[in-house]
Amino acid sequence: MEVKSGQRLQVASVTASSGYLGAPPRRLHFGLGEQGKADYVRLFWSDAVLQSELEVAANQNWLINKMQRKPSSCPILFVWDGERFAYVTDFLGVGGVGFFIEPGVYAPPDPTEDVRLPPELIAPRNGRYLIKVTEPLEEVTYLDQLHLVAYDHPEEWEIYPDERFTGTQPFPTGKPFAVAEKIFPKAARNHHGENVLDKIRKIDRKYAKPPKDTRFVGYADDHWIELDFGKQLQNLDPDASLILYLYGWVEYTYSHVNYAASQAENTMRSPWIEVPDGKGGWRVALPEMGFPAGLPRMMTLDISALPIRKEGRMRIRTNMEIFWDQIFVGENVLGTQMRENILQPSVAELRYLGYPSEFSPDGADPTLYDYQRLDMGVPFKNMTGDFTRFGDVRELLKKVDDQFVIMARGDEISLEFDASQLPELPKGWSRTLVLHSDGYCKDMDLYTAFPDTVKPLPYHGMKNYPPVEPNLSASKEYQRVWNTRRIVGN
């Protein structure tokens, strides 16, 4: 805890108990002399959240309420919808590096994510698609490639990429799936036997919720959703791929939470799929199915090989804090009737933005972000290192070469894509846009690997982070020309 009043700066700590007669004082006293107030009080909490309070009056017992905020996640995406920049979701959380799983183990990053841009949410302005990639949290982002993929298809199709957070290889491909007929469960019950069918029929922010483990953010008690599709799957084409679609979000945990959970011998388990065992019970059919990679989005999974077509029953089980909003299956109707075109950005400008404000449209989680309402000052820590200079960064985003656009907190990349380069749609066809991204991100959690510095830089050939060998593609010339914005941590 740090108190500044005039020329006087005082620092004190509240530590944990050290045994019998070793309890520290729970109340701290700061003398302000003739000052009538403290200019600021800054607190650094044990979970690495930095909190600042301004102009705190003297001569009082001041009770401090800890700020509840998310220090890190991953970049946030906005698109022009014809009237304003609309929030889409976060992305590239799959590329988090240095994330602590348990002592001696860090999660392997997946550097690619393909983000579907809802067709009803994006519209060209003056013939261009406008996209904002923002970094509103306490972290660093390393972006290697960004481009748009335009899928043209019959209008009765919906296109979704092969995407989810797996944590283990093989990682999702990002290739498109097409669904023409959605098959919803006839029944859905949770681990308490409660009917949750209405919670997973449509996307409406009314989620099938997990039983939270209040000790550990992102953890939950063991729970499941049992899905019964009846006989709907029996007459499907046995040669067609069967795709499971799940729309929802996950409460990401943090490195320090995983450390605490490991001390309690609590292990997080990614969702898995169970099917009836023929004896009145259940057996594991897929040990890991993945989960939605952050804030609300659609994840997809090919379940063609699972034995569910005959009975039409399955369970999705986990102890993660995951919220499901819509679940259905569908045959992958993708064929020769689809066209694919790639758009490179005609504008990619790195600049300072500020921090889009968080809000909730209904008072419930998860909060969303408003690009039109910016906070210019947020009490975040700074990561020490050399960040990419502001300006045109198209050259760095053209190809995957481990030469990144390195973004600091408060930065954005403003992207424009020339829609006139795309062919005219045939009658009865629609277009779905997907943003392809390649890169990494790293937070400042106390138990994340190298949380206070931009280096060591990640790269695609590393076995995990932190890498044993340095990023050899990050040449001195690249560093000298591009990464000239020095920021020193606090």
Residue 69: pLDDT band with limits 50, 70, 90? low
Question: Is the pLDDT confidence value at 48 over 80?
Answer: no
DSSP string covering 337-393, please?
Answer: T-EEEEE--SEEEEEE--EEEEE-SSS-SSPEEEEEEEES---PPPPBEEEPPSEE-
211-239 confidence digits (pLDDT tens): 999 999 999 999 999 999 999 999 999 99
Question: Is the pLDDT confidence value at 42 over 90?
Answer: no
Question: Is the pLDDT confidence value at 23 over 80?
Answer: no
Residue 71: pLDDT band with limits 50, 70, 90? low
Whether the model pTM is above 0.85: yes
Higher pLDDT, 149 or 472: 149
Exposure string (b/e) for 333-354, b if CB count within 10 Å is 16 or more?
bbeeebeeeebebeebebeebb
Share of residues in the chain with pLDDT > 70 (%): 97
Topology (CATH) of 181-332: Jelly Rolls (2.60.120)
182-206 confidence digits (pLDDT tens): 999 999 999 999 999 999 999 999 9
H or E element, residue 412: strand 411-418
Is the separation of the CB atoms in 66 and 50 below 8 Å? no
Share the mean pLDDT of the chain. 94
What residue spans define the domains of the chain?
2-57, 69-155+338-490, 181-332
107-152 confidence digits (pLDDT tens): 999 999 999 999 999 999 999 999 999 999 999 999 999 999 999 9
Question: Is the pLDDT confidence value at 18 over 90?
Answer: no
